């Protein structure tokens, strides 16, 4: 049975041991109507040949976060199935220098969520997402924001299924990063209900 525990930053190396890798089979191409004045359309198209995108092979590793940010207001979670780690998630809140937080005290950011391939499709991601929402709710947040890309169609479908709304389409969000410059940044927002039931979930800190 899968369970979620909250961990301290001292265990970030265990968090980082869980891979974050995606097989890209399709992408959401962005089409502009009348150069954008007529609207935008996201249309799924196949990628041929498919390729793997390893989120940990470029940019920041989880072990880099404490060195770059003040993570005292962050939440870190591990999903365990017996003795195995099968997933992880991180939530950022009220942290100076984190642009995604938009200088808001009522906004949390689901900074990272990952599930090992063999556990995907078993509800682990949903459990981590729900824990992140509850953690944010307990800190007075009214929204949770999540960044993904147009090449991560499974993530987009997951966030849509969880009730998120697409709030931002940033065509040139990665223009400064050559190997992903053609990807489109998609920011999702989840509205946290004020009457969210929080009595039925407990965090275990180890």
* Per-residue pLDDT reduced to its tens digit, 90-116: 999 999 999 999 999 999 999 999 999
Other beta carbons less than 10 A from residue 67's beta carbon: 8
* Predicted local confidence at residue 199, as pLDDT: 42
* Predicted local confidence at residue 58, as pLDDT: 79
Spans in the chain with pLDDT lower than 70? 194-206
Q: CB-based burial of residue 112 (10 Å sphere; 0-12 exposed, 13-18 middle, 19+ buried)?
A: buried
- How far, in Å, CA of 177 to CA of 200, rounded? 43
Residue 200 CA, chain-centre distance (Å), reads: 24
**Domain extent listing, the chain:** 2-54+68-191
Tell me which CATH code domain 2-54+68-191 carries: 3.40.630.30
* Predicted local confidence at residue 93, as pLDDT: 98
pTM: 0.92
- Residues 44 and 30: beta-carbon distance below 8 Å: no
* Predicted local confidence at residue 204, as pLDDT: 39
- How far, in Å, CA of 109 to CA of 101, rounded? 7
């Amino acid at each position: 049975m899968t369970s979620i525990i909250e961990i301290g930053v001292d265990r970030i190396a265990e968090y980082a041991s869980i891979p974050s890798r995606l097989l890209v089979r399709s992408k959401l191409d962005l089409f502009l109507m009348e150069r954008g004045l007529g609207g935008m359309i996201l249309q799924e198209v196949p990628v041929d040949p498919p390729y793997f995108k390893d989120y940990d092979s470029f940019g920041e590793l989880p072990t880099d976060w404490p060195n770059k940010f003040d993570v005292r207001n962050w939440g870190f979670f591990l999903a365990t199935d017996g003795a195995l780690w099968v997933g992880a998630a991180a939530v950022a809140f009220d942290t100076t220098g984190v642009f995604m937080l938009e200088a808001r005290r009522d906004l949390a950011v689901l900074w990272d969520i990952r599930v090992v391939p063999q556990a995907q499709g078993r509800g682990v991601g949903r459990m981590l997402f729900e824990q992140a929402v509850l953690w944010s709710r307990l800190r007075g947040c009214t929204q949770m924001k999540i960044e993904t890309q147009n090449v991560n169609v499974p993530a987009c479908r997951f966030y849509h299924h969880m009730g998120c709304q697409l709030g931002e389409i940033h065509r040139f969000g990665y223009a400064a990063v050559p190997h992903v410059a053609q990807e489109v940044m998609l920011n999702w927002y989840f509205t946290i209900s004020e009457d969210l039931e929080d009595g039925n979930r407990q965090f275990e800190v180890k």
